[in-house]
Amino acid sequence: MSEAADALPNVHVRAEVLVQALPHMQRYDQEIVVIKYGGHAMGDRAAAEDFAEDIVLLEQSGLKPVVVHGGGPQIGRMLDRLGIKSEFREGLRVTDEATVEVVEMVLAGSINKQIVGWISAEGGKAIGLCGKDGNMVQARRATRTVTDPDSHIERHVDLGLVGEPERVDRSVLDAVLKAELIPVLAPVAVGADGQTYNVNADTFAGAISGALRAKRLLLLTDVPGVLDKDKRLIPELSVEDCRRLIADGTITGGMIPKIETCIYAIEQGVEAVVILDGKVPHAVLLELFTDYGAGTLIRRARA
């Protein structure tokens, strides 16, 4: 009797949490939420299981989650194991024919099916796909230029078979979502000439969310969100704020392409994008179902 009495306060707290989550669940009912899952959180089994639980709970709560995953560290380990040298230019992996075969094998094969397995283990029904399936994502060769700091002359950077989404056909995703399945997407796409391309997962997620007019795009990363110059988290930004912070040097390095993806998605009709730390337990649920944002919210204009 005493054990039951001691448990009651904890039960009441849990009930209160559910009540507080109700308006958030209603806001997202039948809405599409695209979640880009990546970073080192993917390599942690406990974090991966938490993530799978979050995705299943979203689907059971009436949302339509779409998962896009990366896998850079896993690709790197496989390339090392096979003795294939890899280099990076401007933050992107240079991809030749040998490398793109490994990329497709790791992303669309082992990692994709592993995530599907985690979701299935938590009671969800997921299906693994990549951009090549149903010609979902057609890509073109990515182009990058860098400016020499001394001469200010721009030069082209050849990234090989790195691609950028050119066109998204949402028909396969619409059919999958209508069947109440959870799509898990690997960022591998095909060109108009049939060539396979390695696409940055953030960029791929931005293109998918834009095509689906998603309610939210969540970019799970290895950092808490966008930080100011004193390394403090910025809880909310407008598109205009983002451009200003890039111009004044507050947003630098690898965060710039993430922010550019956020801006692109919003301009394509996504209501808002959140950059958050994927290592935080149940970060997705904290962001969507509580009043406490788990990262940096980016929208067209600040409320």
CA distance 248 to 246: 6
- Please indicate if the annotation marks 14 as binding a ligand: no
- Nearest Cα neighbor of 165 from 142, 193, 144 is 142
- Whose tokens are 């709970």? That residue is 57
Q: How far is CA 20 from CA 72, 105, 170, 236, 245, in A?
A: 37, 43, 34, 22, 34
Contact (Cβ atoms closer than 8 angstroms) between residue 204 and residue 189: yes
- Whose tokens are 């791929």? That residue is 204
- Nearest Cα neighbor of 237 from 252, 227, 247 is 227
CA distance 241 to 266: 14
Those residues whose C-beta lies under 8 Å from the C-beta of residue 45, and which sit 6 or more positions away, are none
- Please indicate if the annotation marks 10 as binding a ligand: no
CA distance 77 to 83: 10
- Please indicate if the annotation marks 134 as binding a ligand: no
Would you state the torsion angle of the CA atoms of residues 283, 284, 289, 295, taken in this order, to the nearest 10 degrees? 60
CA distance 221 to 205: 13
- Please indicate if the annotation marks 71 as binding a ligand: yes
- Residues that constitute the known binding site: 71-72, 93, 198
- Residues that constitute the known binding site for substrate: 71-72, 93, 198
